[in-house]
Amino acid sequence: MKIYKFCITGLFACLFSVSSSYAQFGDLGKKLFDKGTEMVGNGSLNRLLKQPQAISTSFKDVDQTGSKPPSFTDGQKAQPLYLLPKAANGGYKLCAGFFEMTNKSYCLHAGTRGPSKGDGYMLAPVLGPKKDVVIRILKSAEQHTNVQQRDIQVLLWAIISRTKFADMNTNIKLTASTLLSPQELLMLQGGALGVLPANLVEKAKGQLPNSLQSVFEAENSIRRLAASGSSSYEDMEKYAILAGLAPQPDPDVPAGIWSLHPDGYYIRFLPQGYSVTRVQIYVPKELMNTQTNLVYDGTNGIACPANVGAQRLAQTNEPLNPDYSKKLTTICYPK
């Protein structure tokens, strides 16, 4: 009953504040707004707040067992990871040695700050209701080099903000349709939200921990922009990437820390902003005595920060500025 009273009084107060938004988004904007206000009328605010994030990976999902300090490979020179043979289902076939690649990466946590100096990132699994479609997009992007990284990031922001495919603007739909099959597009429909009125956002924020309030507000703003035909990458970035530095980094998880991958090799992430990550991999010789088909597929993991105010980063198998004139000094797979 309390929520219903809030709906009657608060909704009318909110209508004036969002009238300008209707002019921007037209009939579609009104439909999205109506979807949001329905949540107040049927008393489902609590259910809304309990819905999982589209990608729910957090540092709690990181297995720190077997981690190594940043000095683990001091004195060793890394070879280009992208020169290793490609695996049939994506990724690179590994062999013993020290490898690195600077690759495309993507923000998967709107309403947080970009990587800061001193932030330690560790390997975490891709979790959440939209994990399969996000991984599929990252894999497909490697085959569609004509699709710009910015367009893919906008699509991912729309997805992690729980925007239905039917509500996305034409440009975002085009990106999604290029990267996904008709069957895969259906994966974008479930677990989505409408655009919530400002007073409902404020009420919801009051029931959330401080660390989640900016995320909740940013996702609502991105859903609104995703429905607008005039929105741009820069418009979304203002909400997705908060300005300034994240809270103090965790001293127990220093920048450059190594994670022990479940397959037995070591990996670390050195972000250069949210769109570029240098990935390093160390494969012990002993491991190759027991592993005959070891593959690194960046899309199956997330670079997750110990700093809860920083962004988790989706990884790819797409090198940036590769130099294929280089040669591996180790012959991994002799003919």
| Average pLDDT, integer, range 162-166 | 87
Q: Which residues pair with 121 in a beta bridge?
A: 305
Judging by DSSP bridges, how do beta strands 97-107 and 313-319 pair with one another? antiparallel
| Average pLDDT, integer, range 179-207 | 75
% residues pLDDT > 70 (the chain)? 76
Rounded CA separation 314/330 (Å): 29
Query: Residue 303 corresponds to which tokens in the numbers above?
Result: 């670079």
* pLDDT tens, position by position, 31-42: 444 444 454 444
* pLDDT tens, position by position, 235-293: 999 988 887 665 666 778 999 999 999 999 999 999 999 999 999 999 999 999 888 78
Question: 173 pLDDT exceeds 70?
Answer: yes
Residue 327's CB: how many other CB atoms inside 10 A? 9
* DSSP code string of 225-293: HHT-TT--HHHHHHHHEESSPPSPPPTTS-TTPBEE-TTS-EEEEEESSSSEEEEEEEE-HHHHTT-SS
Helices (H) and strands (E) in the chain, counts: 10, 12
DSSP state of 50: H
Question: 71 pLDDT exceeds 80?
Answer: yes
Q: Which residue has the tokens 């670390």?
A: 268
Question: 138 pLDDT exceeds 50?
Answer: yes
When the pLDDT of each residue in the chain is averaged and rounded to a whole number, the result is 82
Rounded CA separation 204/207 (Å): 5
**Which residues, in sequence order, are CB contacts of 119 under 8 Å at separation 6+?**
246, 249, 255, 271, 305, 306, 307, 310
Judging by DSSP bridges, how do beta strands 92-93 and 276-283 pair with one another? unpaired
Q: How confident is the model at residue 211 (pLDDT cuts 50, 70, 90)?
A: low
Residue 252's CB: how many other CB atoms inside 10 A? 9
The better pLDDT of the pair 51, 164 is held by 164
Query: Residue 162 corresponds to which tokens in the numbers above?
Result: 């729980």
Q: How confident is the model at residue 7 (pLDDT cuts 50, 70, 90)?
A: very low
Question: 5 pLDDT exceeds 50?
Answer: no
Residue 313's CB: how many other CB atoms inside 10 A? 25
Residue spans per domain, the chain:
54-335
% residues pLDDT > 90 (the chain)? 54
Query: Which of 39-43, 291-295, 303-307 has the lowest average pLDDT?
Result: 39-43
**With contact defined as beta carbons under 8 Å apart, do 263 and 91 qualify?**
no
Rounded CA separation 54/226 (Å): 16
Predicted local distance difference test score (pLDDT) of residue 117: 77
* pLDDT tens, position by position, 44-60: 566 666 677 889 999 99
The better pLDDT of the pair 230, 129 is held by 129
Predicted local distance difference test score (pLDDT) of residue 122: 98
Predicted local distance difference test score (pLDDT) of residue 45: 61
Predicted local distance difference test score (pLDDT) of residue 199: 67
Query: Which of 8-17, 219-228, 262-271 has the lowest average pLDDT?
Result: 8-17
